[in-house]
Amino acid sequence: MDRPEWAPPGIDVERPSAARLYDYFLGGSHNFAADRAMAQQLLATAPDIPLIAQANRAFLRRAVHMLAESGIRQFLDIGSGIPTLGNVHEVARDVAPDARVVYVDLDPVAVAHSAVLIKDQEGVVAIQGDVRKPGDILHHPTTRELIDFNQPVALLVVALLQFVRDEDDPAGIMAQLRDALPSGSYLTLSHGVVDGWRHDREMVKNLYNRTTTPAASRTRAEVAPFFGDFELVDPGLVWVTQWRPDQPSNIDGIKAAKSAVVAGVGRKP
């Protein structure tokens, strides 16, 4: 390690980042040559990735919309990435203009970008944080300032945990995050899974391992426990396109099982 332990994470635009790759797959240009080169390699192996990214993003929109309509006013979005389109605060404030959002990402560029984008918007902040250190996120002064942990919170962990390897104890991380939330809070979670994945699994995993956030491969059955004792709302943990799809539903870009992402929303009893 060439940086001392106490030093903040550095910026390396020569190394692809999952956040910028995601942006690229959503059609954004918030990315660098290194990201695009990696994206081309991924697309050659798995051409459906942009459709999967879109489906995942659409799920986030539907879920946040539903949560805002259910009365949730506080959102903690961990792994928010580059805020390309349809950000949580935009969706939530469409329904509830007083909704408050804390964006958390590991990538300093993503955080800086979010900060510029949400500048001058009261009740929306972006902080740098690592989901592997949930305590740091939960006790971050900015988090504490914006979010009242005595009121229901919507915790968003969307397409994030596939970048947390088992040795980093994602189950323990999720338990700590869930424990911090009061009753009536929600966990919105989606996770890339290997069930039904038609593409070269190892190849994709190896490619992602070259980014700043290596990937883990899990099955749907391994994702379910991340909800703990939270009660899944209808329709449960399903393919991402099947979670309360829009009507008419005949214009989805990808078939359910091809999405390779499961998603669900759970409520803390």
Partner 1 sequence: MIVEPPPRGFTDGTHITRVARAWARAVAGASYVPMAHVDIELRLAGFTTRLLRVLTSQPFDPSPATQIGVELVEAHFASPETLGHTINVLADRLPPLAGTSLDSSGRRVMRLLSALSVGYTRGLRERTLDEQESIRQATVLAQLQTEHALRESQEAFRHAAVHDQLTGLPNRIFFEKQLADLIEAGGAHNVAICFIGITSLQAITDRFGHILGDKALTVTADRLRTLARSLGHPLARFAGDQFVMLIEDPAGTPHLAGVADQIIATLSTPVHTDRHLLPMSASIGLVDRPVAGMDANDVMRAAAMTLQWAKADGTNRWQLFDPARSDREIAKHALAADLAGGIDRDEFFLEYQPLVRLEDRAVIGVEALVRWHHPRHGRLNPGRFIDLAEESGQIVRLGGRLLDKACRQAREWAKLTDSPPYVSVNVAVQQLRDGAGLLRTVDNLLQEVGLAPELLQLEITESASIPDDPQLRRTLDDIAGLGVRLALDDFGSGYSNLGYLQNLPVNQLKIDMQFVRDWKPSSTKSLLPSLVKLAHDLRLSALAEGVETSEQAEYLESIGCDHVQGYYFGKPQAASSITSLLLEWSAEEI
Positions that interact with partner 1 (CB under 8 A): 6-11, 13, 20, 26-32, 50-51, 53-54, 57-58, 61-62, 82, 84-86, 90-91, 108-113, 115-117, 246-254
Angle of CA points 52, 109, 20, to nearest 5°:
20
Closest to partner 1 by CB, 228 or 253: 253
Distance in Å, CB of 74 to partner 1, minimum: 21
Nearer to partner 1, 115 or 232 (CB): 115
- CB of 108: closest distance to partner 1 in angstroms? 4
SS3 state at 21: helix
Q: How far is the CB of 124 from partner 1 (least distance, A)?
A: 16
Which of 76, 171, 159, 103 lies closest to 132, judged by CA?
171
CA distance 30 to 20: 6
> Token pair 């190394």 is at which residue?
15
Which lies closer to partner 1 via its Cβ, residue 19 or residue 164?
A: 19
163: burial class by Cβ within 10 Å (0-12, 13-18, 19+)?
buried
Label each residue of 172-225 as H, E or C. Answer: HHHHHHHHCCCCCCEEEEEEEECCCCCCCHHHHHHHHCCCCCCCCCECHHHHHH
- Whole-number minimum distance, CB 145 to partner 1, in Å? 19
Distance of alpha carbon 203 from alpha carbon 28, whole angstroms = 24
Distance between CA atoms of residues 257 and 47, nearest Å: 15
> 33 vs 44, which CB is nearer to partner 1?
33
Least distance (Å) between residue 45 CB and partner 1: 18
What's the closest the beta carbon of residue 11 comes to partner 1, in angstroms?
A: 5
**Residue (82 or 177) nearer to partner 1, CB:** 82
Q: Measuring CA to CA, which residue among 164, 165, 174, 162 is closest to residue 137?
A: 174
Taking the least distance from each CB to partner 1, the nearer of 57 and 218 is 57
In whole angstroms, give the CA distance from residue 97 to residue 111: 23
Of the pair 35, 222, the CB lying nearest partner 1 is at 35
Q: How far is the CB of 213 from partner 1 (least distance, A)?
A: 16
